[in-house]
Structure 1
Amino acid sequence: MHTRRFRRTVAATLAVTLLSAGCAGMRNQNAGGGDGSDNYPSGPVTMLVAFDPGGGSDVGARLMAKELEKELGQPVVVENKPGAGGQIGYTALSKAAPDGSLFGLTTIPGLLVSALDPSRKADYTVDSFAPSALQVFDPVAIAVAPNSPYKTLDDLVAAAKAAPGKITATTTGIGTTEHFALTELNQAAGIDIRPVHFADGAAASATAFLGGNVDLLLSNVGDVQPTLKSGGARLLTVMAKQRSPFAPDVPTTVESGYDVVQGSSRGYAFPAGTPDAVVNRMSDAIGTVMKRKEFQDQMKDLGLQPQYLNAADYKKFWDEQAGVFKDLIHLIHD
């Protein structure tokens, strides 16, 4: 997203262990602190993950959950509700009791786009949630073949201006992080790099790129590391304000003069109406966990770029990003 909108951004991902149906009933009675009291939580807390067990979002969440249990002094139990690109889980989160007994992993752009895009027909809005903290921001990187003539982002932009619509770039589908990132770059630089969508995911995108079928590989900087290490690609830029710890020698879009910052973020939110004291207690607990070097190292080992926003700043981030995505949604459907 534009740096001016994304400047306060960082990232957060939170996690836990699995919740049985019996625990689901218990959470409404035992989580405690629903009135915003200082003893929150006084019982188990459920963390809802809108994706399959074992995936990147789930693994990062469970890592956080383990540490949150130590910080909160209560069990933090993961409940997976996958389906419809996260909408099933987000719907359940939005409709849960706002008593602090349940909160959920939130991914952006996924959640915001599903709420704002009329074609998704989501049963929730951006305001259906109370953002608590951000844990992860994984910026999009642009990779080229090792023998590519493009040595800098300026080289790529110049070539794209000389041949509109001729240069192609991978995405993992319409409305995905990479798609929005490319749309942002096209808008900011006044160019027309054409997206090629691979709904089967990052592996399919990488295969097409490595086979020479697509000119540019767009991928989160953490996800592209195996391709880089194998010698199959070279990073041109990272769409961020500050350089990534995964690519400290690679210039950012902002350094190169393009006001574009885009990536995947993972954080946590409660249902709207949850007392501020509860939202802030969880935010503070996540922040404490995030300060631990051992935890940050574990995240990096998973390919996750740790960054933290507290509840107030995460809410600002949501609102800013919602405004940006609202302006761009019509472009991704053109």
Structure 2
Amino acid sequence: MKLKIAVTAVAVTTALAACGAQQPGGAAGAWPRKGKPVTLVVAFAPGAAVDAAARVVAPVLEKELGTNVEVLNKPGAGGQIGYTALAKAKADGYTIGATGSPSVVVSPLDPSRGAAYTRQSFLPLGMQVLDPMLVGVAPDSPYKDLKGLVEAVKAKPKSVTVTTTGVQTGEHFALADIRQKTGAEFAPVHFSEGAASAIAAFLGKHVGAYVGNVSDVKDLVSQGKIKVLGVMSAQRSPFLPDAPTFAEQGYQVEAATARGYSAPAGLPADVRTKIETALKKAIEDPAVVAKMKALGLATVYKSGQDYTTYWTEQETTFKQALPLVRNDQS
């Protein structure tokens, strides 16, 4: 009798252990725990497009996951502060983050940045948008078209200051590409806390031109506060149909910011599946898509696997452009 009881106890203990091993913290189908929120880290200041997108997604994500999703802004160093926080967070599903490229892709590629993370620190969960870049000037600017601006800067290098959201960010790479394709060398002014700071500087006429994303200036255009000289995309943006592309004006320059969501590497497979499924539903929710459109953001969903592939492709592209960007740093 004693032997039978002992065997039964071992069997029960083994079964319980196996069950617990399938779940983070031994709580298999119980993730997320009731009352425990998920933190969504945004590496830029409130008001930026990446922040706006995260706040649109969060309520639907809450509904799908069955727990609160709290957006936490950690701006600075061109996104590096927030990405560091995300990479160092516990991989239990209770911390995820908005990841935008090229910032999250490039920062670990350049040793001088001192990034405390690598590509392997992140697990891509899904991509949400592609946001084309542009160049804009004040309505009363002496530059009436892109050619006039480019030719003026070619004649006098670094004579026009332009915004970026930090060293080696999308805007910085776009400027390097413009220099390579047109010969025009602008003087970048880096606002590492994000687009909101860059826009404030532009509106205050502290810089000569604005380089940023379509979503950043959609409202400014309608308010007559900026004149877009060129959009860096193959076709005109549906959000700025009157703004010509660089290609239309003879300059083969294309650049865009990709924005998605990632978790710290090491996330348990079952939790990953739950978050990816919830993210897909949230990103593709008709109400979310409509709100994103109102913000000037076109939804281009990619699964975690496809986002991972896209991320890898971007690494190759940015590695090739990095030497030129380094030379363009100021």
TM-score range, shorter chain: 0.7 to 0.9
Cα offsets for 1:207-253 (capped at 9, x unmatched): 327xxx62x43222122234323334322221123432321233434
Establish whether residue 88 from structure 1 lines up as the match of residue 85 from structure 2: no
Secondary structure at the residue paired with 1:246?
coil
Equivalent in 200, 219, 223 of residue 203 of structure 1: 200
CA shift, 1:121, in A, is 0.9
Find the aligned partners of 1:175 and 1:130 in 2 and give their Cα distance. Answer: 22
**5+ long unaligned stretches in structure 2:** 1-19, 192-196
Alignment map for 1:71-82 (pairs within 5 Å): 71-72=64-65, 74-78=66-70, 80=72, 82=74
**RMSD between aligned alpha carbons?**
3.4
Find the aligned partners of 2:67 and 2:317 in 1 and give their Cα distance. Answer: 37
- Residues paired across the two proteins, number: 296
Q: Is residue 151–residue 184 contact of structure 2 (8 Å, CA) maintained in 1?
A: no
> 1:16 aligns to what?
none
Find the aligned partners of 1:217 and 1:53 in 2 and give their Cα distance. Answer: 18
User: TM-score under structure 1 normalisation?
Assistant: 0.74
Greater Rg by CA: 2
Distance 1:53 1:233, change over 3 A: closer
> 1:105 aligns to what?
98
Equivalent in 45, 57, 63 of residue 70 of structure 1: 63
Find the aligned partners of 2:110 and 2:203 in 1 and give their Cα distance. Answer: 28
Find the aligned partners of 1:242 and 1:71 in 2 and give their Cα distance. Answer: 35
> 2:266 aligns to what?
273
CA shift, 1:130, in A, is 0.8
Secondary structure at the residue paired with 2:205?
helix
Cα offsets for 1:281-334 (capped at 9, x unmatched): 433322222333321222233454433221122112211222233333333332
Equivalent in 291, 305, 313 of residue 284 of structure 2: 291
Find the aligned partners of 1:88 and 1:150 in 2 and give their Cα distance. Answer: 36
User: Which structure has greater helix proportion?
Assistant: 2
CA shift, 1:183, in A, is 0.9
Alignment map for 1:63-212 (pairs within 5 Å): 63-72=56-65, 74-78=66-70, 80=72, 82-85=74-77, 86-146=79-139, 153=146, 163=155, 165=157, 168-172=160-164, 173-187=166-180, 189-197=181-189, 199=191, 200-208=197-205
Distance 1:98 1:180, change over 3 A: same
**Equivalent position amino acid for 2:211 in 1:** L
CA shift, 1:159, in A, is 6.0
> 1:330 aligns to what?
323
CA shift, 1:153, in A, is 4.9
Query: Highest relative contact order (Cα 8 Å, sep 6+), 1 or 2?
Result: 1
Secondary structure at the residue paired with 2:245?
coil
Secondary structure at the residue paired with 1:201?
helix
Identity %: 39
Distance 1:120 1:245, change over 3 A: same
User: TM-score under structure 2 normalisation?
Assistant: 0.74
**Equivalent position amino acid for 1:130 in 2:** L
